[in-house]
């Protein structure tokens, strides 16, 4: 039997498959179900600053263009209000119920909450904390540098407050992602999660109102995170976890080949159930068997840009092949 164990943000995982932050991880029973289904770790549903401040009325108004689908999901699907105390309880009780690592998740807007709340989360016993940082640049006065500095400041601040490892879950829209990624790693991030999936904006043309778009991913969405995992692996000092578009064992293998230490899965589990965890892991093992790999380190990062013979031409050849082939 292959050894699927990995170390991700300093935590030992029996396998690289993590159940992403979502309503699949918002109760102790569901966290236990993740463990029973074979997950290597879980990231708990995010705690939103709006919950901490108990300002949920505004979010319940669906015409309000709130940038986080997670908040809509929280209010509409959970049918309950998990305040900050409930969240700390979720962490503490999940830790008692399972032996896999439990990573808490925080999504804030204003600096004071990142700092105050990260400390509380660490004290509640979380093994790590994932900061879902999603700053939507809507203001033409704000420079890219200012926005990116905010990202690194959040990491620096939280790192000063807590001893547990901190990951940053970010979106793909930066001019120089390698530069930002290295900055976050230098600021103390133990891992980067690529990528956060922004709320898909939509408009209801009958009601003339903003509407939230469909929020589950499709398998085609793997390509964007796959490219960036492959480019960043080995270039930034910290671990990378892939998130978005992994719907089968092949997707899991691809992300590990690109250089991800861990792979987060969400939409596929919503669509097809928690039994998919065992299927994906079995497909990974079968693939390893076919290729004679005994452990993840035997192939992890093998298809990354850094491992290629000519990194300067990485992807260029495939690009040419596609476009010449199409003519």
Ligand X SMILES: Cc1cc2nc3c(=O)[nH]c(=O)nc-3n(C[C@H](O)[C@H](O)[C@H](O)COP(=O)(O)O)c2cc1C
Q: Which of 6, 41, 42, 45 binds ligand X (CB under 6 A)?
A: 45
For residues 97-107, b (16+ Cβ closer than 10 Å) or e, as one string? ebebbbbbbbb
Name the β-bridge partners of 241: 193, 262
**Residues in contact with 79: Cβ distance below 8 Å, sequence separation at least 6, in sequence order:** none
- Verify binding: residue 46, ligand X, rule CB under 6 A: yes
At residue 48's C-alpha, the angle toward residues 208 and 266, to 5°, is 80
Q: Which of 2, 3, 5, 23 binds ligand X (CB under 6 A)?
A: 23
CB of 103 to ligand X, least distance (A): 10
Quote the CA–CA distance of 11 and 103 in Å, as a whole number: 10
Please report how the helices 111-123 and 144-161 are oriented relative to each other, as an axis angle in degrees rounded to 10: 30
Q: Contact 17/38 with Cβ under 8 angstroms?
A: yes
Q: Contact 296/5 with Cβ under 8 angstroms?
A: yes
Nearer to ligand X, 273 or 289 (CB): 273
Per-residue binder mask for ligand X (CB under 6 A), 195-224, x = binder: --x-----------------xxx-------
Q: Contact 111/158 with Cβ under 8 angstroms?
A: no
**What is the total count of residues that contact ligand X (CB under 6 A)?**
22
Nearer to ligand X, 11 or 47 (CB): 47
CB of 270 to ligand X, least distance (A): 6
Per-residue binder mask for ligand X (CB under 6 A), 75-104, x = binder: ------------------------------
CB of 158 to ligand X, least distance (A): 15
- Verify binding: residue 25, ligand X, rule CB under 6 A: no
Q: Contact 26/44 with Cβ under 8 angstroms?
A: yes
Nearer to ligand X, 17 or 124 (CB): 17
For residues 1-39, b (16+ Cβ closer than 10 Å) or e, as one string? ebebebebbebebbbbbbbbbbebbbbbebbbbbbebbb
For residues 280-302, b (16+ Cβ closer than 10 Å) or e, as one string? bbebbbebbeeeebeebeebbbe
- The helix or strand, by DSSP H or E, that contains position 240, with its residue range, turns out to be strand 239-243
- Verify binding: residue 265, ligand X, rule CB under 6 A: yes
Quote the CA–CA distance of 37 and 277 in Å, as a whole number: 6
By CB under 6 A, the residues from 115 to 134 that bind ligand X are: 132
CB of 217 to ligand X, least distance (A): 3
- Verify binding: residue 70, ligand X, rule CB under 6 A: yes
Nearer to ligand X, 187 or 266 (CB): 266
Nearer to ligand X, 257 or 314 (CB): 257
Nearer to ligand X, 45 or 254 (CB): 45
Q: Give the CA dihedral 247, 102, 30, 83, nearest 10 degrees.
A: -120
- Verify binding: residue 105, ligand X, rule CB under 6 A: yes
Nearer to ligand X, 133 or 314 (CB): 133
Nearer to ligand X, 15 or 22 (CB): 22
- Verify binding: residue 245, ligand X, rule CB under 6 A: yes
**Residues in contact with 59: Cβ distance below 8 Å, sequence separation at least 6, in sequence order:** 50, 66, 71, 72, 74, 75
- The interface region with ligand X, picked from 7-15, 58-66, 95-103, 238-246 by CB under 6 A, is 238-246
By CB under 6 A, the residues from 151 to 170 that bind ligand X are: 169
- Verify binding: residue 21, ligand X, rule CB under 6 A: yes
CB of 19 to ligand X, least distance (A): 9
Name the β-bridge partners of 239: 191
Binding site for ligand X (CB under 6 A): 20-23, 45-46, 70, 73, 105, 132, 169, 197, 215-217, 243-246, 265-267
């Amino acid at each position: 039997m292959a050894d699927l164990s990995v170390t991700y943000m300093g935590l030992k995982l029996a396998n690289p498959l993590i159940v992403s932050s979502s309503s699949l991880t918002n109760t102790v029973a569901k966290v236990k179900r993740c463990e029973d289904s074979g997950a290597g770790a879980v990231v708990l549903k995010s705690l939103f600053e709006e919950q901490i401040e108990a300002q949920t009325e505004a979010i319940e108004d669906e015409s309000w263009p709130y940038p986080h689908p997670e908040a809509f999901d929280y209010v509409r699907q959970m049918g309950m209000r998990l305040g900050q105390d409930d969240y700390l309880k979720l962490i503490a009780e999940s830790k008692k119920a399972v032996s896999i690592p439990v990573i808490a998740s925080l999504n804030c807007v204003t600096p004071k909450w990142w700092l105050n709340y990260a400390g509380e989360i660490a004290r509640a016993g979380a093994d790590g904390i994932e900061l879902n940082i999603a700053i939507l640049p809507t203001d033409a006065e704000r420079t890219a540098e200012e926005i990116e500095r905010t990202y690194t400041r959040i990491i620096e601040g939280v790192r000063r407050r807590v001893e547990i490892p901190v990951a940053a879950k970010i979106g793909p829209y930066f001019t120089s992602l390698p530069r930002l990624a290295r900055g976050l790693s230098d600021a103390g991030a133990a891992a980067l999660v690529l990528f956060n999936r922004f709320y898909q904006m939509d408009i209801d043309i009958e009601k003339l109102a903003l509407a939230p778009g469909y929020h589950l991913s499709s398998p085609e969405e793997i390509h964007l995170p796959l490219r960036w995992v492959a480019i960043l692996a080995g270039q930034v000092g910290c671990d990378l976890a892939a998130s978005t578009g992994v719907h089968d064992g092949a997707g899991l293998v691809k992300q590990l080949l690109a250089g991800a230490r861990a792979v987060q899965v969400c939409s596929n589990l919503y669509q097809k159930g928690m039994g998919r965890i065992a299927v994906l892991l079995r497909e990974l093992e079968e693939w390893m068997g076919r290729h004679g790999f005994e452990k993840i380190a035997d192939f992890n990062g093998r298809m990354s840009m850094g491992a290629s013979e000519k990194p300067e031409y990485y992807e260029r050849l495939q690009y040419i092949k596609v476009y010449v082939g199409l003519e």
